[in-house]
Amino acid sequence: MTKSDQVVEEKCLEPALPATIQDIAKFEGKRVEIKGWLYNKRSSGRINFLQIRDGSGIIQGVMVKKEVPIETFKEAKKLGQESAIIVTGTVRADERADIGYELSVDNLVVISETDDYPITPKDHGTDFLLDHRHLWFRSKRQHAIMRVRSEIINACRDYFNDRGYILFDSPILTPSACEGTSNLFGTKYFDEDAYLTQSGQLYVEAGALAFGKVYCFGPTFRAEKSRTRRHLMEFWMIEPEIAYINLEENMEIQEDFVEYVVQRVLSKMKIELKIIERDISKLEKVKKPFPRVQYDEAVEILKKKGVDFTWGDDFGAEHETILTEEFDRPFFVHRYPAEAKAFYMKRDPERLELALCSDMLAPEGYGEIIGGGQREDDYDELLKRVREHELPEDAYRWYLDLRKYGSVPHGGFGLGIERTVAWVCGLHHVRETIPFPRMLNRMYP
């Protein structure tokens, strides 16, 4: 055997290590096997450039004609987008590549061939893409958004898990409303009327009195007849609830929490934020303390800007957008007129017409991402509110009980995951923030 034969033989024998694209840096110079799909390709006469995706990322595979069997080269050249493939090759550093590495491909096995994938690199309309949502999130940008969503959810859970909160799941099928009766999705619970939950709050209040600090995280439902860029019919919410806190302490937890989530995405999701083309200098400013603006002051800001607004109304999306122009980071609007808010909110003893509540508004026009506040903890006051709001007393008996047995000042909040993802990713519309959006007039796929 000559020396050069030995080299070839050794090269062929080196076993391929199973690898994922997100961890590819660990394999520099090594021969790896990647199980994935063909994202895109381009061929010159002598080289096939294969964009390979494996779910964790995209890498460019370079297949040189004279380095692989001729059948392999021809097969790769005619492969359609989204064909399933297993590729082996050697990882090489390349600073021109998005992820900093390329793959010198030496073998390719086709698992299943595709030749008419509907979402091509050209532009498609939003309706077409939403009709193909089951495929759309394979696309680079959508894929990156879903990965950021996943990291945001992990960060939310870690924040509370690491700080002594107990996960306390709330039911999805409920006998009563939490956030007003106008947008309930009704269903039947055998012979009884039931509703899909709008919020787990009432249940986590029971949890807080049992465990001190709890949170629930789950899907929530609102039949909102509004077609805006921030409304979904089904969205996910994380709702912590804490015993023995007041409104100010509640806001302190929120700013610490949101700073943590944003800074974690900034440190762990660099590649994804780059793909989405997010201006991260805006996110770097998300550091506490967040400004606090009383509702009254917010109304003054609007009036100064020439907006016709009546004290007592709740802010609409357009008002929030105008308010966000004043700040470079999230901020709180607190002490809204009680009349405009939910029945369970505690009144401000200093001004009984105001509720001890706050919303957190995200900057850059995004608006409300969190709603929360201190809860009414007095039995008689709460019963009065239930009656004023014409809620069925019977369905709230258990909730009123919480004010009879060991009632304490308590509060909490709910952060909407989709609005948070939209803001962190800098997206125009919440429809791109959840795998399968439920919108007015769309429940497919």
Q: Does the protein bind ligand 4AD through residue 151 (CB under 6 A)?
A: no
Q: Does the protein bind Mg ion through residue 371 (CB under 5 A)?
A: yes
Which of Mg ion, ligand 4AD, none has residue 54 at its interface (CB below 5 to 8 Å by kind)?
none
Of 414, 421, 425, 432, the one binding ligand 4AD (CB under 6 A) is: 414
Give the pair of three-digit tokens for residue 26: 């660990």
CB of 431 to ligand 4AD, least distance (A): 11
Of 418, 423, 434, 437, the one binding ligand 4AD (CB under 6 A) is: 418
Q: Put residue 7 in one of left, alpha, beta given phi > 0 → left and psi -120 to 50 → alpha.
A: alpha
Q: Does the protein bind ligand 4AD through residue 232 (CB under 6 A)?
A: yes
Largest CA distance in the chain: 95
Stretch that binds Mg ion, among 167-175, 247-255, 325-333, 365-373 (CB under 5 A): 365-373
Which of Mg ion, ligand 4AD, none has residue 41 at its interface (CB below 5 to 8 Å by kind)?
none
Give the pair of three-digit tokens for residue 256: 């610490």
CA distance 315 to 324: 12
Q: Does the protein bind ligand 4AD through residue 410 (CB under 6 A)?
A: no
Beta-carbon contacts of 272 under 8 Å, excluding residues fewer than 6 positions away, are 144, 145, 147, 148
Give the pair of three-digit tokens for residue 395: 């369905």
Q: Does the protein bind ligand 4AD through residue 376 (CB under 6 A)?
A: no
Which residues pair with residue 374 across a beta bridge? 411
Which of residues 235 and 257 has its CB atom nearest to ligand 4AD in the complex? 235
CA dihedral 201, 434, 330, 177 (to 10 degrees): -20
CB of 99 to ligand 4AD, least distance (A): 33
**Which residues of 262-346 form beta strands (DSSP E)?**
292-294, 331-334
List the interface residues with ligand 4AD, window 234-273 (CB under 6 A).
235, 237, 239
> Which residue from 148, 24, 175, 146 is spatially nearest to 92, judged by alpha carbons?
24
Q: Does the protein bind ligand 4AD through residue 412 (CB under 6 A)?
A: yes
> Which residue from 375, 152, 148 is spatially nearest to 275, judged by alpha carbons?
148
Residues in touch with ligand 4AD (CB under 6 A) = 178-179, 199, 201, 222, 224, 231-232, 235, 237, 239, 368-372, 412-414, 416, 418-419, 430
Residues in touch with Mg ion (CB under 5 A) = 371
